[in-house]
Structure formats: structure tokens, C-alpha cells
Chains A and B, each alone.
Chain A
Amino acid sequence: MNVFMRWFHKMGSPKYFYEVSGKMIPWFMWTFIITLVYGLYQGMIVSPPDYQQGESVRIMYIHVPAAWMSMFIYVVMAVSGLISLVWRIKMTEIFVISSATVGASFTFLALATGSLWGKPMWGTWWVWDARLTSELILLFLYLGIIALHSAIEDKRVAARAISILALVGVVNIPIIHYSVEWWNTLHQTSSVTMTGKKAMSTSMLIPLLVMSVSFKLYYGAVVLMRARAELLERDRNTRWVEEVVQEDTK
């Protein structure tokens, strides 16, 4: 067994996870704040207005990283769901529900900022094109997962149910990604691609990527905070939780 697998197994122990994640959260939080400040400085002050879109282009530094996060978190959630279903690991079960609210928030943010950007640029708040519609479906998937989880009393059964829903919904992710290529959409095609085809000036690319890193660090912090809270609730009748509570309320 290599080092990573050993660590992964250790993290499967709720008590160990609770302790280690408690130490990790401040690191995520501070690196998030630092990258956020730098990203905002680059995006609001250093980067120039767009030659066609003017200052409205600054919405991009929220919109695009939020949209990336909406898909990134969904994939993390679905992978956690798969691991939970196959190996019945409690910790990954908790990551599924812990990711759902923050994922839904980023999806809503992507849609809302897109709307706020669409109005001045396209002349409309909303169109039923493939990109916007598939992203809206993503929001409904997240909300469905949250609703399903709260509807089932037994949390282990609930976790299994939402893991299945998360896995089924993963089909939507490639649809969102390729929607701008497969269909004729009002939404533009990707400006940033893995192949390195450059469709954006560096002065705009920097804040975009910094904000994207910042949001990922934020997700790291928030998902751990949520997971710890869920864990306490689930394990409320165990010895280690009683010890944690006694330590906390001293």
C-alpha cells in the first residue's frame, strides 16, 4: 500500500478526519483570502476594459470561475458518490451532501451573473439556448440532491439515494461543456481551452485563473467545514463526538 492509500484509509476514520480537517481549514481559508484579494486587484484594477464590452467584461472574473466551479464540484460530488456506493465509505458519503449546497451556490451565481452580463451585451436576461438550459438543469440536479437528502430520515439511506442521483446527473456535465459546440448557441464558445489556443489577452487571463484557483481553495475550506458539521450530527451517539463536545464546551 502506498503512502496516499494509507492516508486515504486513515481519513476514513471519522475521529482522525475531524482532527486533521480542523487543521486544514485555516490554510484553505487564508490562501483563499490572499488569492481572492490578488484576483480582485488584477480583475478590477489592473486588467483593461474590453474593446467591445467595455467595463462589463469584469463580470467575467466572477461568472467564468463560478461556472467552472459548478461543474468541478459536481464531478467531485459524483466521484464521492461512486466511491460511497462501491465501498460504502462513510466519509465519502458525507462529501456528497457537503458539496451540494456550495455547488448549488456556484451554479446559481454563474446563472445570475450570466444574466446580469447578458442583459447589456445580448439585450436579454435569458434565452433558452443549450448552454443556459443545461446549466439550469445542473442547478435543479443540485437542488434535487439537497431535497432528496432532507426527505429521507435515515442518513445512510439518504446518502445512497443522493449518490445514485449524483451519478445519473453526471451525464449533464459533458452536455454543458460541449453545448456551445454541438448546438448553435447565443452563448459564446470557450475562450480558455486546455489545448492552449489563446483567445484572450494575458491581462485578462491572469485574474480569471487567479479567481478560479481562489474559488477552489474556498471550496476546500467550505466543504471541510460542512463535512465536519455533518459528521458530528451523524456520529452524535459515539464516544469520540462526546469527547469533542466536552472539549468544545469546556
Chain B
Amino acid sequence: MNEFLAMGGYAAYVWPSYALAFILLVANIVAPMLQRKKTVTEIARKLRRARNEQK
């Protein structure tokens, strides 16, 4: 296991590469989820307000 983590002395280059890939892949999934959620919340609030004014 330690040998695997050491990457033949290249650990300082291999693991940051994989870590960065992981971070970017996750970020690009989370960002549109948050964007969609924000928009849905905004529109929902606007719709509620419009309904209240009608009453």
C-alpha cells in the first residue's frame, strides 16, 4: 500500500494531478445543481408573492 502511495518517487506529481481532476469534476457537477436550486427558489418566491397579491 505504501509503495502504491509513493508512486515510485513521483507521488508529489501524480497525486496532485488526480486530486485536481477530482475537484474539478465534482465542482462542475455541484455548480449547476446550486444554480438550478437558486433559480427555482427565486421563481417560487415570486410566484408566492404574486398569489398573495391576488387574494
User: What is A's interface to B at a CB cutoff of 8 Å?
Assistant: 44, 49, 54-56, 58-59, 62-63, 66, 101-102, 105-106, 108-109, 112-113, 116-117, 119-120, 218, 221-222, 225-226, 228-230, 232-233, 236, 241-242, 244-246, 248-249
CB-CB < 8 A to A221: which residues of B? 29
B40 / chain A contacts, CB cutoff of 8 Å = 232, 244-245, 248-249
User: What is the CA–CA distance of A49 and B3 in the complex, to the nearest angstrom?
Assistant: 13
Inter-chain contacts of B24 with A (CB < 8 A): 105-106, 108-109
Contact B47 A117 (CB under 8 A): no
A63 touches B17 (CB 8 A): yes
Q: How far is the CB of B43 from chain A (nearest CB, A)?
A: 5
Contact yes or no, A119 B13, CB < 8 A: yes
Is B52 positioned at the interface, with any CB of A under 8 Å from its CB? Answer: no
Flag B3-28 by CB within 8 Å of A: 1 or 0 each: 01001111001101110110011011
Contact of A55 among B10, B25, B41 (CB under 8 A): B10
Q: Is the CB of B14 within 8 A of A56?
A: yes
Nearest neighbor of B27 in chain A, beta-carbon distance: A105
* Other-chain residue from A108, A116, A229, A249 in contact with B36 (beta carbon distance below 8 A): A229
Within the complex, the shortest CB–CB distance from A80 to chain B, in Å, comes to 17
Given A55-B9, A113-B21, the answer on whether A245 and B32 have CB atoms closer than 8 Å is no
Q: What residues of A have a CB within 8 angstroms of the CB of B47 in the complex?
A: 242, 245-246
What separation, in Å, do the CA atoms of A239 and B31 have in the docked complex?
26
B36 touches A228 (CB 8 A): yes
Contact assessment for A66 and B13 in the assembled complex, using a CB-CB cutoff below 8 Å: no
Q: Which residues of B contact A232 (CB under 8 A)?
A: 36, 39-40, 43
Contact A241 B25 (CB under 8 A): no
Taking a contact as CB atoms closer than 8 A, the residue among B31, B33, B35, B43 that contacts A241 in the complex is B43
Closest 5 CB pairs of A and B: A55-B8, A229-B36, A225-B32, A56-B10, A229-B35
Within 8 Å by CB of B21, from A109, A242, A245, lies A109
Q: Once the chains are docked, how many angstroms separate the CA of A245 from the CA of B42?
A: 10
Shortest Cβ distance from B32 into chain A, in angstroms? 4
